[in-house]
Amino acid sequence: MPDELINLTIDDVPVSVPQGTLVIEAAKQAGVLVPHYCYHPGLAVAGVCRMCLVEVEKAPKLQIACATTVAEGMVVRTQSEQAKQARMGVLELLLINHPLDCPICDQAGECELQDFVFQEGRPGTRYAEYSKRFNPVEDFGPDVLYVPNRCILCTRCVRFMEDLAGEPVINVSERGDRAYIGIHPNARLDHPWAGNVVDLCPVGSLLSKDFLHKARAWELDKTASICTGCSQGCNVTLDTRENVVVRVRPRPNLQVNRYFICDHGRLNYRWMNRGDRIEAPLVRRHATDWDEALSRAATVLRGAGGKAVALVSPRTSTEALFLARRLLARFEWTGAFQVVMGDEAPLPGVPDLALRAERAPNARGAELLGYSRDYAAALETSRTAAVVLVIDEPDAAIETAGTLLYLGTVLPESAHGAEVVLPIANVAEEDGTYVNRDGRVQRYFQAKPAPGMARPAWWVLSELLAQVDGAEHCASAAEAFDALAGSTDAFQGLSYAGLGAAGQGITAKAGARA
């Protein structure tokens, strides 16, 4: 039975929302963002900043939108003169002691204090006294710095560590104009999910050491992607500057990671910027063009018979895994992948969210397409196979009497004897999909160009299929995925466009159709 809907009016716009909805969330349905600092949809309500004051008809005084639930027939005015004056007063108080650090602050351009002062603040201050000062910076942990002079005491960080991380190592110390965020003298902010306090901070008070002074916000290109750190499939944003990934931030998805990512996924991005990439196709270790390399690989595939083995990385896109399987369908083929294991680190306050022990973003997708986890057996079979196709497995100890075809981003020593080496893009350089541990198919998008002549793995395999079997070439990841969905039971009914930004769950647990 659906929740009962409550009808109200916000800034003359009629809105219907479920019972129990907060006014600040209901306002979003009316296209209104009520200014706020302490409120965050992923945290418990605190109601301490008083920035979200709005006028509610028949209420004796202004109400805070973050702690007021909707009522039938309620009339809310966010832009009344009384509400605007009150918010202007809150901003004036916040700015009394806030330093003019914008020219050197990492948060500049993404700062909610900047945004709301520009939108709602006074043109000047009425205070002439010299503002208070704390120590310039405090070292809170492996990747977190605290700048107390910028802190507006919204307590988002405190509530995250206490309610969600389950480690209340920080608090509001002192009171009044002496208050600041203090850390336990014998503790560090080293929880596996501690980096989220940087994302939650609305100003430049909590900073990431990793991103410190790397770029200004307006220099960054922002691209939706999927974290490759484990099988959870957290939604992230890749921030690039001059075609270099410089920061990874969480992207909200209430079905997967809500608003958070772990520090492992946040900081494990430098491999996307490696400088030792394969930039041109190789035939017997000699650089060539795509036409010659694809022609030679197609000749090998057409002329060979018997067994074939595909050794693939669990970072390979679902589209590439599908096309590789189709390419080897003429053989008696075996496909396998290996998973690096680590420690599992849950976020206690969020159900079913953790850094998973399996460090494999597309292991589920590989299994659905017929690839095995028995990597050792596949490696043994590869010794006598006619063709061994390796997709971005730099650690594979490949020994084969047959022909080795290697698709990769970097060239390992074990691939030096490959007949053909084809350079491919990494996850930041292509479009594609992954399937997370819960069977959710999610898209990621190209954030930067691939180096040299490198191409997406699905493009390379589609070109090979066209030359070997005369199949129609897939011109995009969308075409490759739709071909996959049309021939694989588990993906039936899905479309690339229909996945949207949040992804969709698979419809069955079945594998590929013959």
User: Residue 489: which of 513, 463, 467, 456 has the closest Cα?
Assistant: 513
Q: How large is the average pLDDT for residues 496-509?
A: 86
pLDDT at 3: 63
Assign domain 129-273 to a CATH class: alpha beta
Q: Give alpha helix (H) positions in 156-262.
A: 156-159, 196-200
Query: Locate tokens 């390796």: which residue?
Result: 390
Report the run of H or E that residue 113 belongs to, with start and end: helix 112-120
Query: Locate tokens 């080897």: which residue?
Result: 328
| % the chain with pLDDT above 70 | 97
Concatenated DSSP letters of 373-413: S-HHHHHHHHTT-SEEEEES-TT-----SSEEEEEESS--G
Please check the confidence at residue 510 and state whether its pLDDT lies above 80. Answer: no
pLDDT at 130: 65
Please check the confidence at residue 514 and state whether its pLDDT lies above 60. Answer: no
Tokens representing 329 are 């369908």
Q: Right CATH number for 5-94 from 1.10.287.70, 3.10.20.740, 3.40.50.10490, 3.30.9.10?
A: 3.10.20.740
Q: How large is the average pLDDT for residues 66-73?
A: 97
First to last CA, the chain: 41
More confident residue, 412 or 512: 412
Query: Locate tokens 């390379």: which residue?
Result: 460
- Tell me the residue type at 396: A
CA–chain centroid gap for 226, Å, is: 5
Reported as a pLDDT band with limits 50, 70 and 90, residue 513 is very low
d(CA 242, CA 417): 35
Q: How large is the average pLDDT for residues 22-50?
A: 97
- CB under 8 Å to 184, separation ≥6 — which residues? 169, 170
pLDDT at 177: 83
d(CA 135, CA 354): 35
Query: Locate tokens 């509001």: which residue?
Result: 172
**pLDDT by residue (tens digit) across 244-294?**
999 999 999 999 999 999 999 999 999 999 999 999 999 999 999 999 999
More confident residue, 197 or 128: 197
Tokens representing 447 are 């954030």
**pLDDT by residue (tens digit) across 433-461?**
999 999 999 999 999 999 999 999 999 99
Tokens representing 232 are 């959870």
Reported as a pLDDT band with limits 50, 70 and 90, residue 229 is very high
Tokens representing 83 are 């509400």
d(CA 412, CA 41): 46
Q: pTM of the entire structure?
A: 0.94
**pLDDT by residue (tens digit) across 354-385?**
999 999 999 999 999 999 999 999 999 999 99
Could you tell me the CA-to-CA distances from 260 to 63, 200, 208 in Å, in that order? 29, 9, 15
Confirm if 210 and 204 have CB atoms less than 8 A apart: no
Share of the chain residues as helix, strand and coil, in percent rounded to the nearest 5: 25, 20, 50
Q: Which of 25-29, 310-314, 464-468, 471-475 has the lowest mean pLDDT?
A: 471-475
Which CATH number does 282-505 carry?
Answer: 3.40.50.740
The string over 437-451, giving b where at least 16 C-beta atoms fall within 10 Å of a residue's C-beta and e elsewhere, is: bebbbbbbbbbbebb
Please check the confidence at residue 97 and state whether its pLDDT lies above 80. Answer: yes
The strand pairing partners of 41, in sequence order, are none
Average pLDDT in the chain: 94
pLDDT at 127: 78
d(CA 324, CA 474): 13
Is the torsion defined by CA of 238, 239, 240, 244 positive or negative? negative
| % the chain with pLDDT above 90 | 89
pLDDT at 512: 42
Domain ranges of the chain: 5-94, 129-273, 282-505
Please check the confidence at residue 507 and state whether its pLDDT lies above 80. Answer: no
Residue 119 burial (10 A CB sphere; 0-12, 13-18, 19+): exposed
- CB under 8 Å to 295, separation ≥6 — which residues? 467
Please check the confidence at residue 509 and state whether its pLDDT lies above 50. Answer: no
The strand pairing partners of 430, in sequence order, are none
pLDDT at 385: 95
